[in-house]
Amino acid sequence: MNAINFDLHCDLLCYLLEPGSLIDDKELGCSLPYLKEGNVKLQVMAIYSATGEHSTIYGAKQSEIFSDFLQNESFFLFDGNNYKNSENSDKVGIIAAIENASGFCSEDDTLDTGFKNLETIIEKHNGFFIWE
């Protein structure tokens, strides 16, 4: 049996906001080919937005990218030991993490707006995410 790996942080979601970026771009160490080659069974995907104009838009876009990954045949939503399931043997388990609050609450937003944005992100990820 090959060793399995858990990676607790990557910036793939942020990278994929760049025009022309691709999930299989081998210029990025956490691209899909490297995740599969490294037998990564848990990849924590950071949602990161620098504080500033449009930070919540960038956070929402990364959240959408993560949601799209859950529909991709190369990924599964990591849930404890489900990486051991035979249907996930050739897939990468993923969960989302929020690296800072700027992705869901800008400096001009009310706390109510920020919490509503956060709830939207949680719902899109089926409730699975961790705080970094």
For residue 76, pLDDT beyond 90: yes
Domains of the chain: total:
1
The CATH number that applies at residue 107 is 3.20.20.140
C-alpha 109: how far from chain center:
24
SS3 6: strand
pTM, entire model = 0.88
Mean pLDDT of 5-32: 92
DSSP state of 7: E
For residue 122, pLDDT beyond 50: yes
Q: By residue range, what is the domain housing residue 123?
A: 5-131
Name the average pLDDT for the chain: 90
Mean pLDDT of 103-115: 94
- pLDDT, residue 132, reads 45
For residue 2, pLDDT beyond 90: no
- pLDDT, residue 28, reads 86
Decide: residue 46, CB within 10 A, 0-12 exposed, 13-18 middle, 19+ buried.
buried
- pLDDT, residue 120, reads 86
